[in-house]
């Protein structure tokens, strides 16, 4: 029982928090800019490498410099929006998707060019598990889940208490009506990029703290993040959080020895779990759990 | 009487396709003006033209004397025009109150006081203020859409088929609401399929056919007109295809 909790459920929740933060950006971008942003994963990688450099320069803890990396990444993403997406605002969706695909490759190549392709670490040394009776948890897992909860609450407050946050929800709900209502859609778009990029950087830093830093890390998260966004209902930020948690937990639990002594599913197939959930949702419930927009 | 809204020989369409061929129309301060006509006559197009949603090829649109031809929607809102589209006219996932707040988006002032005034006008909305607009009935949604448009005391309110898809009971209620908000000072331009009921509450009406003016007159005069009656009022089934 404790093995299940300590080695499957807790890591599942940690992974779920990371997916959830990343999926919020994907979901909002789809709801407001109406395209699947393939560059989201590499935006995350970019933020992690900026964090890595800030850590190396300042010697501070990654979480202490992460806010600076979030701001810098937001600035870069707003520049990318001007250069790559704004010219296509009124174009068919496929053009934006392809633009994001190209941007994805460009960001990754730039990262590999400037930082190299070798593995890096955001933290050094081995962490001991903290024990609470039979319950054991890695201190970094407490930190990641705690910080993720704080960020999700901040997102919730922004979306429900501020004028721009409500305008973001309104635009995601019905972009045409938002324009007719006089909502400043360009401002909403900038706020969406800022929120999406910041949360992606946070998610990437959490992943970097939990594992390591490499140039493909964001790309590898793209599929589960999309799966989470679709599971929760595209354009529904709360759905994205729920979807992220579900996918993270299900991925980890899929390799628990439910039947007999061996893992139900070899850990090598973890990524397939997110894919299977995504395909199943698209076939049987394309509007997602929270009734988002259909593809 | 001063004209609040004037369409002066307006030709407009989507891209190169012209739908309105030089229509003339005006709404005076304090009036209810109704546009009726068969499907495809360009009724809704005329409203969208005012709102900068399509390309105006020729002619001029004036709001209280000021030209607003081809002005983008957000600026039209800031100049004091509010538009309630026929469908999808509320933010379904936002609460009633949040919908009203969005109606005041272009204003920097706190909308709380105005929301209270709106609730006086539409009492059923007060108890539903925290509910998502998508959970309301069709008639109440229409109330939310109209109140959202009234948030900033618009110079003119454009209503595109406010009773479309509503039961006869709600239809009467919506026409009553339109009269009430007009009595409270709002100038209204409305497109309606339920032509007779709409013309009954209108000061004046226009009949559009094929993107051109066909008839114009007071609401009562249009109801009494033989040709109008034959074409649009209760004889819709006999309309040639």
| Domain boundaries along the sequence of chain B | 3-238
Q: Is the pLDDT of residue B229 over 80?
A: no
CA dist A125 and A144 (Å) reads 17
- Over the stretch A212-266, which tens digit does the pLDDT of each residue have? 999 999 999 999 999 999 999 888 888 999 999 999 999 999 988 888 888 888 8
Say if residue B239's pLDDT is above 50.
Answer: no
Q: Do A179 and B74 touch (CB under 8 A)?
A: yes
**Residue to substitute from B93, B134, B151, interface A, most A β-carbons within 10 A:** B93
Residue A291 has pLDDT above 80, yes or no: no
How close, in Å, is residue A208 to chain B by CA atoms?
A: 35
Phi, psi for residue A61 in degrees, rounded to 5: -70, 145
Domains recognised in chain A with CATH numbers: 2-115+138-284 (1.10.3470)
Instruction: Report CA B222 to chain centroid distance, whole Å.
Output: 19
In chain B, residues with a C-beta closer than 8 Å to the C-beta of A178 are: 91, 102
User: How far from A34 is each of A20, A29, A72, CA to CA, in Å?
Assistant: 19, 7, 25
pLDDT per position as a tens digit, A21-56:
999 999 999 989 999 999 999 999 999 999 999 999
- Using 50, 70 and 90 to split pLDDT, how confident is the model at B240? very low
Report helix, strand or coil for A212. Answer: coil
For residue A81, is pLDDT > 60?
A: yes
User: Quick check: A94 contacting B, CB < 8 Å?
Assistant: no
Chain B neighbors of A236, CB-CB under 8 A: 93
Contact at CB, A174 and B83, closer than 8 angstroms: no
pTM comes to: 0.89
- A-chain residues within 8 Å CB-CB of B135? none
Residue of B nearest to A159 (CA): B94
Quick one: which of B10, B123, B101 has its CA closest to B61? B10
Q: What residues of B are in contact with residue A163 (Cβ under 8 Å)? A: 101, 105
- Smallest Cα distance from A178 to chain B, Å: 8
Which pair of tokens denotes residue B50? Answer: 């005012």
Mean pLDDT over B212-224 rounds to 86
Closest residue by Cα to residue A278 from A246, A241, A237: A246
CATH class entry, domain B3-238: alpha beta
């Amino acid at each position: 029982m404790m093995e299940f909790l300590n080695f499957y459920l807790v890591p599942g929740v940690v992974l779920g928090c990371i997916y959830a933060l990343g999926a919020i950006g994907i979901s909002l971008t789809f709801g407001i800019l109406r395209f699947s942003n393939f560059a989201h994963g590499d935006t995350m990688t970019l933020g992690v490498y900026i964090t890595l450099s800030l850590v190396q320069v300042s010697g501070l803890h990654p979480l202490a410099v992460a806010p600076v990396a979030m701001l810098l990444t937001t600035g870069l993403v707003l520049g990318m929006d001007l250069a790559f997406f704004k010219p296509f605002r009124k174009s068919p969706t496929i053009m934006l998707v392809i633009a994001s695909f190209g941007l994805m490759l460009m960001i990754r190549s730039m990262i590999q060019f400037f930082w190299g392709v070798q593995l890096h670490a955001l933290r050094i040394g081995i962490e001991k598990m903290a024990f609470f009776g039979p319950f054991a948890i890695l201190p970094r897992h407490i930190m990641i889940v705690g910080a993720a909860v704080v960020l999700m609450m901040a997102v919730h407050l922004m979306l429900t208490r501020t004028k721009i946050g409500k305008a973001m929800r309104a635009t995601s709900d019905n972009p045409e009506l938002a324009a007719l209502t006089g909502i400043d859609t360009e401002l909403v778009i900038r706020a969406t990029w800022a929120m999406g990029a910041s949360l992606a950087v946070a998610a990437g830093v959490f992943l970097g703290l939990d594992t390591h830093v490499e140039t493909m890390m964001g790309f590898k998260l793209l599929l589960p993040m999309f799966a989470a966004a679709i599971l929760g209902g595209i354009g529904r930020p709360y759905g994205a959080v729920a979807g992220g948690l579900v996918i993270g937990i299900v991925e980890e639990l899929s390799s628990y020895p439910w039947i007999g002594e061996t893992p139900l599913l070899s850990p090598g197939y973890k990524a397939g779990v997110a894919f299977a959930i995504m395909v199943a949702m698209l076939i049987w419930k394309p509007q997602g759990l929270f009734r988002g927009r259909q593809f | 009487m001063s004209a609040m809204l004037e369409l002066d020989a307006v030709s407009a369409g989507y891209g190169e396709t012209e739908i309105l061929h030089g229509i003339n129309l005006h709404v005076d301060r304090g009036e209810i003006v109704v546009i009726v006509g068969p499907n495809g006559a360009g009724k809704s197009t005329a409203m969208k033209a005012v709102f900068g949603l399509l390309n105006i090829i020729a002619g001029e649109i004036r709001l209280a004397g000021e030209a607003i031809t081809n002005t983008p929607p957000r600026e039209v809102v800031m100049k004091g025009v509010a538009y309630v589209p026929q469908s999808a006219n509320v933010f379904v996932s936002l609460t009633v109150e949040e919908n009203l707040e969005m109606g005041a988006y272009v204003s920097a002032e706190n909308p709380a006081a105005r929301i209270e005034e709106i609730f006086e006008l539409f009492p059923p909305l007060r108890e539903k203020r925290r509910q998502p607009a998508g959970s309301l009935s069709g008639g109440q949604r229409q109330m939310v859409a109209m109140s959202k448009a009234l948030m900033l005391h618009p110079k003119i309110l454009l209503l595109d088929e406010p009773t479309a898809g509503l039961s006869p009971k709600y239809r009467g209620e919506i026409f009553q609401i339109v009269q009430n908000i007009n009595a409270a000072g709002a100038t209204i331009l409305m497109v309606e399929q339920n032509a007779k009921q709409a013309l009954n509450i209108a000061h004046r009406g226009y009949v559009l056919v094929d993107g051109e003016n066909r008839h114009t007159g007071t609401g009562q005069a249009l109801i009494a007109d033989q040709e109008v009656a034959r074409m649009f009022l209760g004889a819709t089934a006999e309309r040639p295809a």
